[in-house]
Chains A and B, each alone.
Chain A
Amino acid sequence: MGYLSTICVLSCINIVAVLGLAILTGYTGLFSIGHAGFMAVGAYASAILYMHFGVPFYLALVLGGFAAGLSSLIIGYPAFRGAGKLRGDYFAIATLGFGEAVRLLLNTTYKYVGGAYGLTEIPGLTTLPVALGVAFLALIGAHNLMRSEHGKNCLAVGQDEVAAQMMGVNLFTTKLKALFISAFYAGVAGGLFGFYMTYLSPSNFGIGKSSDLLAAVVFGGMQSLIGPVITAFLLVGIPELLRFLLDWRLVIYGILFVVVMVYRPQGMLGYREMNFRWLWAAIRWLKPGKPKQAN
């Protein structure tokens, strides 16, 4: 049970982070290869707030998320503003640089953070119900967000920036909000991770972590929440099942990246949204006594 619950908790944490990235990458079309950096900010911020400032657990998680969101503005504000706006892949590289800079900064700071030794003795407060609950809230939140006006703006920006701008969408605020929310999610996921592992080290948040998150979104599908959620779950679970293929995991990831891009760039469930209509239909169909169809 302990083993299974570990996989479940790690999957839930992964799902929260991937949902954030899906909002940014899948919907708004901004690729981030540095999301582990936001996770790191959230993880360290919430752990330090809890341990040194006596902030309660849930508040610390939320504040960790806010810290990650605020840190994202450092790169989002100059990147999206007016004439200096960065085109697609260079925004991705800027996030990569940011993520690595955060990791290396944590690696060389010793006060509070513990440098390369890491931050230890964090209480293990992330239990399975907590992780499940947060993942569920995150999913509901993202789902509602994407149905809101802001979500529609994000979609428009992701599909065609110029057309969106002509329709009166403010590119700057839309992108900045999407980045902030995305980093918030990553920060909360990082906080959960820290309180689950009871130990944080900068090496947990390298480029590998960022590309795992990106892999979940790319395989799961663009402009879909449920697709990335499923892949986020699978990408934690499958490597556990296929332990003997451990070394080959990254090779397979790489080949899958190419294959998906060449043959199915929209991903597994691209452009398909979570809905429960089929469930209602099934219930209605099963309900006894109701006339199926007037013959």
Chain B
Amino acid sequence: MTFFLQQLVSGISIGAIYSLLAVGYALVYSVYNFTNWAFDAFMVTGAFAAFYGITLFFMPFAVAIVFSIVMTVGLALFVETTAYRPLRARQAPRLFMMISAMGASLAAVNLANILFGGAFRKFPDIATGAYRIAGVSVGKMDLFAAAFSCVVLSLLWWFLERTKLGLGVRASALDTVTAGIMGVNNNKIALIIFGISGVLSAVAGVFFGAKYAVFPYLGLVTIKAMIGSIIGGIGSLVGAVLGSLLLGILETMISSYVSSVYRDLISFSILVLVLLFFPSGLMGAKRVDKL
């Protein structure tokens, strides 16, 4: 039983990181109906900014997180204005935006690989040790990451539900064109959405880097977050969190009870099965083909 609880805790701690990114995927999808493949680039930027902020510039952890968020938001806004905005202005097919996003991600991640080298770097210790609760050890860093993720997601919820700009974002998600006619500045909304995505992926990048290691291809984990957001339902924010936690727990359980060899195989099989047979996921709206 203790072993099971221990795995559950590990699963939730990785699921919390997935959920930050998955919310980013869901947010972008809910407004623009396309999958932002550039999240891995954002996440890598966040992780490297925090890593070098601490090791080269001796920033305290709090400052490093802010630095990482600033850098990542900068990249996110740059990608939005150069790679997505011209396509949106032309009303290009969504698939073109997806390819453009893949290009941005390919370029940024491999640039990081060339500039910094592919080595795995150990993130400086922020909080070591663990609490023992009923025989289950909970890492302090994991607890901190989970708490921080909760704060970030609550702030996001507050922003979307309780502020006027958030209302604009939700209106845009409902119908971008009509929202534009009603006086919502869609380019501003786009900047806000990609800004939020930047914040989410920076935080995810820092905590993922701190949990495992900092390396150029750490963004590959964003595929897991995408699977989480698809399990939760395409474009649903609550679903994205639930789906990611579920995926995190499932992966840990498979690793510990079956074999870690089958972990990714099962994750990708779930992705295919969900897309093919339950495309609306846990919480996604029933999709209707729009003319």
Contacts and interface: CB of A to CB of B under 8 A. Distances in A.
Contact of B110 (A92, A94, A254, A256): A254
A116 B279 CA distance: 32
B94 A93 contact: no
A89 B265 contact: no
B259 to A, nearest CB: 8
Contact of A254 (B103, B230, B234, B287): B103
B106 A251 contact: yes
Contacts of B104: 254, 257-258
A122 interface: no
Range for the number of chain B residues in contact with chain A: 35 or more
B276 interface: yes
B264 A247 contact: no
Interface of B: 34-35, 82-83, 86-87, 92-100, 102-108, 110-111, 113-114, 223, 226-227, 230, 234, 261-262, 264-265, 268-269, 271-272, 275-277, 279, 287, 289, 291
Contact of A31 (B95, B110, B279, B287): B95
Contacts of A101: 265, 268-269, 272
B106 A92 contact: no
B96 A261 contact: yes
A258 to B, nearest CB: 4
A253 interface: yes
Interface in A57-101: 75, 78-79, 84-90, 92-94, 96-98, 100-101
A253 to B, nearest CB: 6
Interface string A240-261: 0000000110111111111001
Contacts of B265: 101, 104-105, 107-108
A92 B95 contact: yes
| Nearest 6 CB-CB pairings of A with B | A257-B103, A254-B107, A254-B106, A97-B271, A104-B265, A78-B276
Contacts, number: 128
Q: Is the interface of A mostly helix, strand, loop or mixed?
A: helix
A277 B271 CA distance: 48
Contact of A108 (B86, B87, B262, B272): B262
A218 B95 CA distance: 11
A218 B276 contact: no
Interface centre among B96, B107, B262, B275 (most CB of A within 10 A): B275
Residue among B86, B234, B271 having the largest count of chain A Cβ atoms under 10 Å: B271
Contacts of A162: 291
Contact of A78 (B114, B277, B287, B291): B277
Contact of B276 (A29, A86, A92, A251): A86
B268 A97 contact: yes
Contacts of B83: 258, 261-262
Nearest to A85: B289
A262 B100 contact: yes
A214 B106 CA distance: 13
Nearest to A83: B289
B87 A251 contact: no
A255 B95 CA distance: 17
Contacts of B268: 97-98, 100-101, 104
A250 B106 contact: yes
B264 A100 contact: yes
B138 to A, nearest CB: 31
A114 interface: no
Contacts of B94: 88-89
Contacts of B230: 90, 93
Interface in A205-255: 211, 214, 218, 247-248, 250-255
B100 A247 contact: no
Contacts of A87: 287, 289
Nearest to B111: A251
Interface string A101-112: 100110110000
B91 to A, nearest CB: 12
A61 B106 CA distance: 33
A85 B264 CA distance: 26
Contacts of A94: 271-272, 275-276
A123 interface: no
A77 B291 CA distance: 23
Contact of B92 (A93, A218, A253, A265): A265
Contacts of B93: 88
Contacts of B102: 211, 254, 257
Given A78-B276, A101-B265, A254-B105, A261 B92 contact: yes
B42 to A, nearest CB: 14
Given A105-B265, A261-B99, 7 more contacts: A93-B271, A101-B272, A248-B110, A250-B107, A252-B107, A253-B106, A262-B86
